[in-house]
Amino acid sequence: MELILLVGAVVISILIFGFLIKVVRAAIGTAIMIALVVLLLQIVFGIGVNDLWRQISGIWQSLWQAIGGG
């Protein structure tokens, strides 16, 4: 009985570890893409991070007001 429990725990641990690796890879890829877009906006158009962040915040505030959240 303990051997079956041990095997089950190892299999589940391997599956969870594989899932976490996929999540981390996706997060790193997304972070790199965001950094490239911000760098491109900064170099080509002279748009700073603060300007971009202000615009993103405004989008979310407008969306929140549109759905009746405030």
Query: Which among 40, 4, 2, 26 has a CA at the least distance from the CA of 49?
Result: 40
pLDDT at 50: 94
CB contact at 8 A, 38 and 52: yes
The pLDDT of residue 21 is: 97
Tokens of 32: 């790199």
How long, in residues, is the chain?
70
Q: What is the pLDDT of residues 18-70, one digit of tens each?
A: 999 999 999 999 999 999 999 999 999 999 999 999 999 999 999 999 998 76
Query: Could you tell me the pTM of the whole model?
Result: 0.68
The total domain count for the chain is: 1
Give me the amino acid identity at 46: G
Which residue range(s) make up the domain with 17?
2-66
> For residue 42, what are its two tokens?
């900064």
